[in-house]
Structure 1
Amino acid sequence: MTPVDLSTTVLHAVRRAVREDALRAPVPARVRVERTRPGGRGDYASAVALQLAGPAGLAAREVAEILRDRLAGAPGVAGVEITGPGFLNFTLDAATGAAAHRALVHRVREQGERYGYGDALAGQRLLLVHAREVRAAVTADAVRRLLAAQGADVCVGCDGEPDPDWARLGVRTEASDDQAENPIRPVPAGDTAAGLLTRLGPDAARWGLLRAAGHDRAPLGNELIAQTEANALFRVRYAHARARAVVREAARLGVAVAASGEDIDATGAAGLLALLDAHPAVLAGAARHRAPDRLARHLDAVAAAFFDFHDAAPPLPVGDEKPSAAHRSRTALAEAAGTVLAGGLSLLGVSAPEHL
């Protein structure tokens, strides 16, 4: 069971409790589950009972007990314990978790860089209209890509004459009169496309324009081209390049990537697996809220989790170590991480080099 699966399972329990009139509270849009902190109980925890206690007019522990009763025997959940004021703590079934990890990695490898694409917006025809300003133009272009990845038919229009230099940033304008109009109005960049291209180049300029939320000013200093760990763009692209290098080196050493039926060694990989599993929801949310910054932050988190996994469980044999099933599965996970990073960068209009 993945974190998204668990969140859905708990949400179903909330709906059931409301339907049965055991709980009188509005059903939340989603339930947040998190890895249990060191010293905690079980594999995951949720504060949903504390969230519902006020509206339900009940103590949080009483709400937690109502939900625990409806989670008993849920597929993939080995046990549910209540701790503190009303936290739900979940212990997952190991066999179910292993199957979910296998399915997740296989799904990413099978779908490639289109992993996370969907048809939730199929049939919608949208026109994104932005000001004659470089950040608005790049943001509208990224939102167009995100919406199209969810099945929408999208065009982009400008309030004035498009700047010819926008094309060098990957922006295209193709207005249509028969589509619902959606304004894109981020805080202006305070610079021109020509100026940003001269200082930063297209990739760093796009990342800098998109990484901050639209209501915040976008930092566009030379730190965006620094080859250092402090630069989020460098971290993401370096993680992608490193993941690709793992796959290349594995092939050279004769380490085959794990087949779809093989277990995935989750040593040091819980955070990475959770983020890969959440990727489709992140893409859908970024499209729905017209917020490419959500995807940029998600990619940064995937990169950090990849390095944590890489350090905790090296994917390749070290020294005289013989290749094993664990190495095959870790190589498959590295490949999946690289695929998600490449696909996400592509949706932001940023290149993903194989070498850095």
Structure 2
Amino acid sequence: MTPSALADLVRSSAVTVLEARGLDTDVLPEQVTVERPRNPEHGDYATNVALQVAKKVGMAPRELADALATELSAADGVDTAEVAGPGFLNLRLAADAQGEIVRRVLSAGDAYGRGDTLAGRKINLEFVSANPTGPIHLGGTRWAAVGDALGRVLSSQGAEVTREYYFNDAGAQIDRFVNSLLAAAHGEPAPEDGYAGAYIDDIATAVLSKEPGALSQPEAERHETFRKIGVGLMFEEIKQSLHDFGTDFDVFFHEDSLHAGGAVAQVVGELKESGTLYEADGAWWMRTTDQGDDKDRVVLKSDGDPAYIAGDIAYLRDKVQRGFDLCIYMLGADHHGYIGRLKATAVALGYDPEVVEVLIGQMVNLVSGGKPVKMSKRAGTVVTLEDLVEAVGVDAARYELTRYSVDSGIDIDLDLLRKHTNENPVFYVQYAHARLASLQRGAAELKIELRPDADFSLLTHPREGDLIRTIGEFPSVLTKAAELREPHRVARYLESLASAYHKFYDVARVLPQGDEAPTDLTHARLALCEAARQVLANGLSLLGVSAPERM
């Protein structure tokens, strides 16, 4: 019996108890909370539903809990139901009922854990979107890992997710990038407001290789040559780095297309005509303070040029017109002001502000030998995605970046992630999977078949029960991770599952030794182990991390 099935059973039993007394059943929550108690001696699961509704129906909590315990004790799959404290219910399941979780995993395979809570939602998930002026730094690398994992988690719950990269190929930062390339091509130092690093020299050389006569062109033509070729080369490098990191996008949206295609001018004109914008000091402003911004924002500058937010307005309209009912923006630590700004943009366009959701990611630091790692071999002043991957590999980098809530800063210990010990979280989880895969190979060598119909009532050891219940939590973990946009919940869950398996392995022998013949318990434990392996593989896949069969 899965936790969700048990929750349904508790609710239906509560309905029976209340109806028998002529009491209102509408006071019951739509979804009853069933959780594993911290102390396993208190039972397999616990619920506080009696405490939640007793006073609403005029009963004492313990009186209602007693009646509910009697009803549940007679239900199939429930071994015992006991009242604790002021009205909590502690539940123990029959071993064969818990075994149903194993059957479900083996039947569902790769699909175990998937749900439909977001079915029908069309979500635009925009992340990374680093300016094409240099390699991806650590902040962007964090979003590459977390954003990709979040997309997978949202998809696992039925959402139609489009992963989008907003290509900032318009504005002053591009001019500074091009001027830096031109300076490098002339053998001069980077401009004071430009970009430095070996990558600038490399791209400048590549531009001249593609267009040998570029430096002899008239100034405007020369600038355009370096802009077109240089930005293109930088962006192709960014896309390749992301692909090598396991992060691919469905759409690369060019900011410049909004300006060149007239979308920015059109939407600004419409907002002026509708009175949504107001004029002051020769410029046109949007009241972003109405949605929590610290100040109103200029949309059209006094010289007639659009401000950066004008592109944001046209971009959001484009997203909604493409049919997205939720637009998630994943932005860096210095972008808190964008929350109110983008909400105000939605309101200005006549949309519900809830169509916009902004996630802010905090800083990432690298530590080695107890000291911060600050310099990149190639970028000069920042540590890049390639630096991190070179140091620890793709799996370790992705896992470590994903296992923390994005609203907290993190220090990544490179020395720890290089270790092949249980101190290293990704090794700990991957090793559990490899150990389980080895177990299945051992069973195959002994010609012991996997039996999904094994007698799971034999799995009565506390460690077996703990492992089964941990496996059963996976669907609810994914539901909550999708609901809260927190893929780190998946990583932390995998660590708890690996821990439950390692503890089980220490006390329960699975395969027969010597001339021993396999027993019914052998088959039950082997099926349990395969269920654990499957869930580890499913979870690692959602994080974009490999599930090795040998380590």
TM-score band, normalised by shorter chain: 0.7 to 0.9
Contact 1:8–1:31 under 8 Å retained in 2 = no
Q: Does 1:183 align with 2:376?
A: no
Q: 1:125 to 1:3 in 2, by over 3 A?
A: closer
Take 1:282 and 1:38, find their aligned partners in 2: how far apart are those partners? 20
Take 1:57 and 1:199, find their aligned partners in 2: how far apart are those partners? 63
**Between 18-27 and 107-116, the greater mean CA deviation after superposition:** 18-27
Q: 1:56 to 1:206 in 2, by over 3 A?
A: farther
1:147 to 151, 154, 165: 154
Contact 2:454–2:523 under 8 Å retained in 1 = no
Q: 1:106 to 1:45 in 2, by over 3 A?
A: closer
Q: Give the SS at the match of 1:355.
A: coil
**Between 158-167 and 302-311, the greater mean CA deviation after superposition:** 158-167
Take 2:502 and 2:59, find their aligned partners in 1: how far apart are those partners? 43
Q: Does 1:174 align with 2:250?
A: yes
Contact 2:464–2:504 under 8 Å retained in 1 = yes
Offset at 1:69?
5.5
1:326 to 497, 521, 534: 521
Unaligned runs of 5+ in 2: 131-139, 169-234, 254-318, 331-358, 366-382
Q: Give the SS at the match of 2:546.
A: coil
Q: Give the SS at the match of 1:269.
A: helix
Q: Does 1:98 align with 2:244?
A: no
Which residue of the partner structure matches residue 120 of structure 1?
117
TM-score norm. by structure 1 comes to 0.86
Which residue of the partner structure matches residue 188 of structure 2?
none
Take 2:443 and 2:544, find their aligned partners in 1: how far apart are those partners? 29
Q: 1:220 to 1:29 in 2, by over 3 A?
A: farther
Q: Give the SS at the match of 2:448.
A: coil
Q: 1:72 to 1:258 in 2, by over 3 A?
A: closer
Which residue of the partner structure matches residue 8 of structure 1?
8
Q: 1:322 to 1:7 in 2, by over 3 A?
A: same
Take 1:264 and 1:81, find their aligned partners in 2: how far apart are those partners? 21
Contact 1:36–1:44 under 8 Å retained in 2 = no
Contact 1:166–1:172 under 8 Å retained in 2 = yes
Which residue of the partner structure matches residue 135 of structure 1?
142
Q: 1:79 to 1:203 in 2, by over 3 A?
A: closer
AA at the equivalent of 2:395: D
Take 2:33 and 2:159, find their aligned partners in 1: how far apart are those partners? 27
Q: 1:226 to 1:189 in 2, by over 3 A?
A: same
Take 2:56 and 2:387, find their aligned partners in 1: how far apart are those partners? 53
Take 2:446 and 2:73, find their aligned partners in 1: how far apart are those partners? 47
Map 1:136-285 → 2, pairs under 5 A = 136-161=143-168, 163-164=238-239, 165-175=241-251, 177=319, 178=322, 179-180=324-325, 181-184=327-330, 185=359, 186-190=361-365, 191-222=383-414, 223-260=416-453, 262-263=455-456, 265-266=458-459, 267=461, 268-285=463-480
Offset at 1:141?
1.1
Take 2:161 and 2:46, find their aligned partners in 1: how far apart are those partners? 39
Take 2:17 and 2:25, find their aligned partners in 1: how far apart are those partners? 5
Contact 1:122–1:152 under 8 Å retained in 2 = yes
**Between 199-208 and 180-189, the greater mean CA deviation after superposition:** 180-189
Contact 1:2–1:100 under 8 Å retained in 2 = yes
TM-score norm. by structure 2 comes to 0.58
Take 1:345 and 1:322, find their aligned partners in 2: how far apart are those partners? 34
Take 1:264 and 1:201, find their aligned partners in 2: how far apart are those partners? 43
Offset at 1:219?
3.5
Take 2:524 and 2:28, find their aligned partners in 1: how far apart are those partners? 42
Which residue of the partner structure matches residue 83 of structure 1?
84
Unaligned runs of 5+ in 1: none
Q: 1:50 to 1:254 in 2, by over 3 A?
A: same
**Between 61-70 and 141-150, the greater mean CA deviation after superposition:** 61-70
Offset at 1:173?
2.3
AA at the equivalent of 1:303: A
Offset at 1:174?
2.6
AA at the equivalent of 2:164: G
Take 2:472 and 2:36, find their aligned partners in 1: how far apart are those partners? 13
Take 1:231 and 1:56, find their aligned partners in 2: how far apart are those partners? 51
Q: 1:77 to 1:336 in 2, by over 3 A?
A: closer
Offset at 1:265?
3.5
Offset at 1:67?
3.4
Offset at 1:217?
1.9
